[in-house]
Structure 1
């Protein structure tokens, strides 16, 4: 993440979030990052159909 100016906002992409969650989970569980990342991306497709209860 390179910022040219100190006041520029950092652009965080969805893939970076998935990667960071996968790496954190891999440290805790001992699984490979790639496997966890693959599961997160696969579950992302099905979770779009879920709505919140009110």
Structure 2
């Protein structure tokens, strides 16, 4: 007998830290800057575009 299909699990949202790390590492590859420096820039709330947040 076949098992009845289970409903799909809801997608888990990534943490803000993991999104920040992903953006920083991708940018580091493209620009040659260090990941740590880019992460620090993303954590800094006194940015030029502080009203814009990373999507989750």
TM-score range, shorter chain: 0.5 to 0.7
Is 1:13 aligned with 2:15? yes
In 2: Cα distance, 1:17 partner to 1:41 partner: 11
Structure that is richer in helix per residue:
1
Question: Root-mean-square deviation (CA), in Å?
Answer: 1.8
What is the TM-score with the length of structure 1 in the denominator?
0.64
Higher RCO, Cα 8 Å, sep 6+: 2
Matched, 1:32 2:34: yes
Aligned to 2:27, what secondary structure does the other structure show?
helix
* Residue ranges of structure 2 left out of the alignment (5+ in a row): 1-7
User: So what's the TM-score if we normalise by structure 2?
Assistant: 0.62
